[in-house]
Amino acid sequence: MHRLRIPRTPLEQIIEIFGLEQQEPRDVILVSLDLEVNKNRPSIDQWYAISQIGVSYFDTRCLLQPYPADHHHFATRHFIVGGQRRFDHIRKKYHFGISEHISSQDHVNDVLRNILLIPDEKTPGKFRDVILLAHGIASDLATCRKRILILADLANVVGLLDTTYLSMEVLGLYFSLRSLLSLLGLPVKEMHNAGNDANYTLRALLLLCRYDLHPSLKKSVQTLEYFRSIAFEPLPDTTSRNALWRSVKIRRADKTLEALNLGGLTFFDDI
């Protein structure tokens, strides 16, 4: 029996996490997780073969007023598992930074553990308490269990949240992540990229809180409007970044063709 359960009506817990009815929020980091599995593999092992990991962090310490002037509070990471060609293709669709490469399934469990072990800058040697969040979190936890990895049993994981249950509590219906984001009017591009989806899920949680609680928690209006502003923060423009990557790839190909025309790749002479 695992020590943590997924609340079916999570709004009360979320109010407590963000301190919307008390003086201060809980000192935790919400960690939004999204896993993509390799559906090209036989169904017998598809749960084992994770192809992408996305994680996005929201630290409740940023809610201590006055709020920062900028809205960049989602530290988001994206990992791609597999060969270099796969990495080069998928990373172009990620909007929130530079994707990280995991060469083998053998390293995936260590990465999953490490993304939840966040050092506490206030207390050296201690890790921050985290609340694990996902849209359909039971599926992600089941994927990890297939890998003999029980994320909910890690000592610093102190809670679980699921935006599918939150949408049911607030809106009265279950939604896919895509449908929920569309209904909320949130800016989205390139879904089914794990890094993007982890970030989008965190935005959806904040906006659902604002949507449901704004009329009733008048003393928390400033916080709820803050949630709205960061949820609607525009997506980063990746056009220039991707153009640079394409130009680098072309230059490499040109140099290779030039070397072939000259009779060989001279850099092998130094090996």
| Residues 102 and 66 grouped into a single domain | yes
Domains: count for the chain: 2
Q: What is the reported pLDDT for 271?
A: 42
The verdict on residue 2 lying in a domain is no
pLDDT at 70 over 70: no
| Residues 225 and 256 grouped into a single domain | no
More confident of the two residues 249 and 262: 262
| Residues 87 and 196 grouped into a single domain | yes
More confident of the two residues 107 and 38: 107
| Residues 202 and 76 grouped into a single domain | yes
Q: Are 203 and 84 in contact (CB under 8 A)?
A: no
Arithmetic mean of pLDDT, 138-150: 94
| Residues 142 and 113 grouped into a single domain | yes
Residue 91 burial (CB < 10 Å; 0-12/13-18/19+)?
buried
Tokens of 8: 């079916």
| Residues 225 and 115 grouped into a single domain | yes
Q: What is the reported pLDDT for 31?
A: 98
User: pTM for the full model?
Assistant: 0.86
Q: SS3 helix, strand, coil % of the chain, rounded to 5?
A: 45, 15, 40
The verdict on residue 5 lying in a domain is no
| Residues 91 and 145 grouped into a single domain | yes
Give residue 119's identity as a one-letter amino acid code.
P
Quote the distance between the C-alpha of residue 129 and its chain's center. Answer: 17
Neighbouring CB atoms inside 10 A of 150's CB total 13
Q: Smallest Cα–Cα separation from 50: which of 109, 113, 120?
A: 109
The verdict on residue 98 lying in a domain is yes
| Residues 97 and 195 grouped into a single domain | yes
Highest mean pLDDT out of 62-66, 202-206, 228-232, 263-267: 202-206
Q: What is the reported pLDDT for 263?
A: 59
Q: What is the reported pLDDT for 199?
A: 98
| Residues 51 and 173 grouped into a single domain | yes
Q: What is the reported pLDDT for 180?
A: 97
**Residue 169, CB-side half-sphere exposure with 13 Å CA sphere:** 20
| Residues 122 and 167 grouped into a single domain | yes
Summarised one tens digit per residue, pLDDT across range 146-187 is: 999 999 999 999 999 999 999 999 999 999 999 999 999 998
CATH classification of the domain holding 53: 3.30.420.10
Q: Are 129 and 156 in contact (CB under 8 A)?
A: yes
pLDDT at 265 over 70: no
pLDDT at 236 over 80: yes
| Residues 185 and 248 grouped into a single domain | no
pLDDT category, 214, cuts 50, 70, 90? confident
Q: What is the reported pLDDT for 268?
A: 46
Per-chain mean pLDDT for the chain: 87
- Domain coverage including residue 254: 237-271
| Residues 175 and 255 grouped into a single domain | no
